[in-house]
Amino acid sequence: MKNDPVFWRVVQVALISVSLKVLLFPTSFSTDLHVHRNWKAITYNRPLSHWYTESTSKWTLDYPPMFAYLEYVLSHVLRPFDPSLTRLVVEDVVTDRSVTLLRMSVLLAEVSLMYSVYHILFTLHKHGKLSPSRTHIASVLLLLCPGLTLVDNIHFQYNALPISMLLLTLSHLINDQKHFACITFCVALNLKHTLLPLVPTVSIYLLATLPRETASAIRTLSSLFVVTVATLIVPWLPFCVVGGWQYIGSICSRLFPFDRGLLHANWAPNFWSLYALVDRILLRVFPKASAPLITSGRIGESAPFAHLPNPTPTVCTALIIMSTTLVLLRLFRDPSVENLLTSTAYNLQAAFMFGWHVHEKAALLPLYPLLVAAMVNDDLRFPFFLFSLASQFALFELVRKPAESMFITAHFLAYHAFVAAELPIRSSSKYAVLVYAVGLVFAEAYCGVVGIHRMLFADQLQFLPILFVSVYSSLGVIASFLALVHRFVHLPLESQESAVS
């Protein structure tokens, strides 16, 4: 490691990153901290058979089994330092000591992210895709992403963990270590099931890079199948043993809450946010007696729209599949590193665009592969920059507190100034980014915690800034998505390119 140019660069950035996150320990957290504390209490106090049925507190466990095991381990590690951490109670109570311990446990997830960042950057360096100095820049951009800091270290979640598994999967795929890739991907799925839309991408890449001869292809395929099924199923087995198929069914209904409605409380900045806006405008123009009330959130409404057709989960899934088919075909024909990264980013973005009940936090998943792809491929800088601005701005809605806002705004600006310095866009599309960024400044001035809206209306019309942020961000996200589509349509395949030249 002493002569590894990537390692020490990542270590330096990692030190800064950890220190910055330690500084954020006293920030104000959201209810998600209570959620995760409660999950630790559940897994500590209850037998396996009651993990997914326990409902003393309203924060019931709704993450896949691997995450439940992780909470189990963490609860046993942390309990000696503060027994009140694992009290199973109805109310949201937490001691200062518990908060510090929980914040520290997030740093453990962060360590896993650091390792995966090192891994993928080393791989890309080894394959000649990144120079040592570019890996340094990439590690800054990957480890000091304000969006992840906001969600993980202020708001409180463990997103660094699934993201690190995703990066490891990509790294193994590039390294052609198919079995490791399968294992890490299954772990990722078992940590965060919102990675499911990536299954076609990974499988198609695996298929496309199988050995040429049929015999060894079949051997590889079968061993991959065994490994995949094993890692995918094994975490579920204990639940099946203690509770039978019925228990598995109830876990699944927890994981996929289709009854929660299309839109999350804060509209995630995606296609449906614009769709909902159009519906609202139509409702203004053509009032309807039986229209659903306009509130900031519409959790659990199966039919939120008054004029436009109300989509079902099937429609959402169909939209995702339709928008990704061509890209997947392309990946099958040309399984290059660039194409793998771009398709991964694109497919996750498509899932974010059209998915059912998407959270704004889910935007972090496409952001990371898109960043890696933009580091490798200059053409993707424009969609990355736009997506990064829009999706991370939408996360500001999670912390509307003065001190936290100041920190995250400065961090956001520093990050994007650094992106502008290191990933400059050379085409005229940079003006589009500039215009969008200026718009963001106005949006923040209006919606911010000491913004114009709160000065004018105090606490009235609270939905207005939230709606404004989500719609403006969704414009950026959609533009970035279309830019990716445009790239896919206009770029010749590598094989064709070589044929022409």
Partner 1 sequence: MDESRYAVNTGDSSHHHKASNGSLGRYKVSTWHWKALLFFAIALRAAVAFHPYSGERTPPMYGDYEAQRHWMEITLNLPAKDWYKDTSDNNLSYWGLDYPPLSAYASFATGWFVSLVDPAAVALHDSRGYETQTSRAAMRLSVVVTDLLVFFPSLLACVYVVYKKSKPGSSFSCWCECGSELFRSAAFCLSLPALLLVDHAHFQYNNVSLGLFLAALTCFVKEHDVLGSAFFCAAIYFKHMLMYYALAIFAFLVSRMFRLYKGRGAMAAGLYAAKILATIITISCLIFAPWLMDGELLRGMLVRLFPISRGLYEDKVANVWCSVSVLFKVNRWLAGKSLFLFCAIITLLASLPFCVGVSLQPSPTRLLLATFGCSLSAYLFSFQVHEKQILIPLTPIAALHGRYPVLSTWMSIAAAFSLFPLLLREGSASAYAASIAIHVVTAISTPPKFMGFGGHTRRERQFMQWFVLGNATVAVVLNFVLIFGRPPASAPDIFVLLNTAFAGMHFVLIYVVSVFLVFTA
Per CB under 8 A, residues contacting partner 1 are 2-3, 5, 8-9, 12-13, 15-20, 22-27, 132-133, 136-137, 140, 144, 401-403, 406-407, 410-411, 413-415, 417-418, 420-422, 424, 450
- C-beta of residue 244 within 8 angstroms of C-beta of residue 52: no
Residue 59 phi, psi dihedral angles, 5° rounding:
-85, 80
* Alpha carbon distances (Å) from 156 to 123, 193, 390, 484: 30, 19, 21, 31
Report the alpha-carbon distance of residue 431 to residue 425 in Å, rounded.
9
Query: CB 408 → partner 1: shortest distance, Å?
Result: 8
Query: CB 16 → partner 1: shortest distance, Å?
Result: 5
Report the alpha-carbon distance of residue 326 to residue 356 in Å, rounded.
22
Using the minimum distance from each CB to partner 1, give the nearer residue, 69 or 418.
418
Output the six-digit token pair for 45.
């106090």
Query: CB 423 → partner 1: shortest distance, Å?
Result: 10
Q: Enter the DSSP assignment of 149.
A: I
Residue 180 exposed, middle or buried by CB count within 10 Å (0-12, 13-18, 19+): middle
Number of H helices and E strands in the chain, helices first, is 21, 0
Using the minimum distance from each CB to partner 1, give the nearer residue, 233 or 414.
414
What's the sign of the alpha-carbon dihedral 427, 433, 434, 436? positive
Contacts of 203 (CB under 8 A, 6+ apart): none
Using the minimum distance from each CB to partner 1, give the nearer residue, 144 or 483.
144
Query: CB 407 → partner 1: shortest distance, Å?
Result: 4
Using the minimum distance from each CB to partner 1, give the nearer residue, 334 or 404.
404
Nearest to 36 by CA among 108, 81, 98: 98
- C-beta of residue 456 within 8 angstroms of C-beta of residue 431: no
Report the alpha-carbon distance of residue 298 to residue 437 in Å, rounded.
29
Query: CB 389 → partner 1: shortest distance, Å?
Result: 14
Query: CB 204 → partner 1: shortest distance, Å?
Result: 36
Using the minimum distance from each CB to partner 1, give the nearer residue, 175 or 405.
405
C-alpha of 167 from chain center: 12
Query: CB 456 → partner 1: shortest distance, Å?
Result: 16
Using the minimum distance from each CB to partner 1, give the nearer residue, 7 or 468.
7
Query: CB 362 → partner 1: shortest distance, Å?
Result: 24
Using the minimum distance from each CB to partner 1, give the nearer residue, 417 or 493.
417
Using the minimum distance from each CB to partner 1, give the nearer residue, 13 or 202.
13
C-alpha of 487 from chain center: 23
Query: CB 135 → partner 1: shortest distance, Å?
Result: 11
Using the minimum distance from each CB to partner 1, give the nearer residue, 3 or 290.
3
Residue 227 exposed, middle or buried by CB count within 10 Å (0-12, 13-18, 19+): middle
